[in-house]
Amino acid sequence: MKPFSILHISDLHRSPHDPISNAELVSALVGDRDRYVREDPQVPAPEVIVVSGDVIQGVPLNTVDYQIRLAE
């Protein structure tokens, strides 16, 4: 049976205080993937990618106008 490869990314906490564009994020992930397949032994390309945890940095509880702050 062939091994099943999963890439799990968690807790990115994207926020306006530490900005990173989608293009930069994807570029970094592709660069990592390209480096892994050159390793010895080779790390296989993932068949599934799972992003879990906090994707964005939230706002503290009881924040006034939390919806506006979260959208920012």
- Per-residue pLDDT of 17-37, as tens digits, reads 777 887 888 888 888 878 877
**Considering the domain boundaries, does residue 56 fall inside one?**
yes
What's the structural domain count of the chain? 1
**Considering the domain boundaries, does residue 1 fall inside one?**
no
Range of the domain at 30: 6-71
pLDDT tens for 40-61 read 887 777 888 888 877 666 777 7
The Cα 69–Cα 31 span in angstroms is 32
**Considering the domain boundaries, does residue 50 fall inside one?**
yes
The Cα 34–Cα 61 span in angstroms is 40
**Considering the domain boundaries, does residue 62 fall inside one?**
yes
